[in-house]
Amino acid sequence: MAQRVIFHVDANSAFLSWSAAYRVRVLGETEDLRDVPSVVAGDRESRHSIILAKSTPAKKYGIQTGEPLFQAMEKCPTLKVIPPDYGLYVEASRHFVQMLRRFSPVVEQYSIDEAWVDMTGTERLWGTPRTAAEQIRGRIWEELGFTVNVGISSNKLLAKMAGDLEKPNKVHSLFPEEMAEKFWPLPVRDLFLVGAATERKLRLLGIETIGELAQADVSILKKRLGKHGETIWHFANGRNADAVNPEPAENKGYGNSVTTARDVTRREEGQQVLLSLCETVAMRMRRDGKCGSCVSIHLRTNGFEHISHQKILHGATNVTTELYHAACELLDEAWDGYTPLRQLGVQMTRLSQEPYQQFDFFSGMDPRQFERKLRLDETVDALRDRFGEEAIRRGVFAQAPESHMAGGLSKFRRTGVTKPVPME
Supply the residues annotated as catalytic: 114
Per DSSP, 396 falls in state: G
CB neighbourhood size of 84 (10 A): 17
Angstrom distance (rounded) from CA 364 to CA 5: 64
CA torsion, points 138, 144, 145, 147, in degrees to nearest 10? -50
Q: How many CA atoms lie within 13 A of 191 on its CB side?
A: 31
Angstrom distance (rounded) from CA 21 to CA 186: 33
DSSP string, 116-175: EEE-TT-HHHH-SHHHHHHHHHHHHHHHH---EEEEEESSHHHHHHHHTSS-SS-EEE--
Quick one: three-class SS letters along 46-97?
CCCCEEEEECHHHHCCCCCCCCEHHHHHHHCCCCEEECCCHHHHHHHHHHHH
* Cβ partners under 8 Å of residue 105, min gap 6: 246
Q: Are 10 and 149 in contact (CB under 8 A)?
A: yes
10 Å CB burial of residue 274 (0-12, 13-18, 19+) is buried
Which of 326, 263, 324, 334 is CA-nearest to residue 298?
Answer: 334
Q: Are 6 and 150 in contact (CB under 8 A)?
A: no
Angstrom distance (rounded) from CA 40 to CA 58: 11
Residue 343's SS3 state is strand
The order of strands in the sheet holding 356-357 is: 254-264, 341-352, 291-301, 306-317, 356-357
Q: What's the Cα-to-Cα distance from 8 to each of 56, 99, 129, rounded to whole Å?
A: 21, 14, 12
Please measure the distance between the N-terminal and C-terminal CA atoms of the chain and give it in whole angstroms: 37
Angstrom distance (rounded) from CA 353 to CA 355: 7
Q: What's the Cα-to-Cα distance from 343 to each of 258, 262, 326, 383, rounded to whole Å?
A: 6, 10, 18, 29
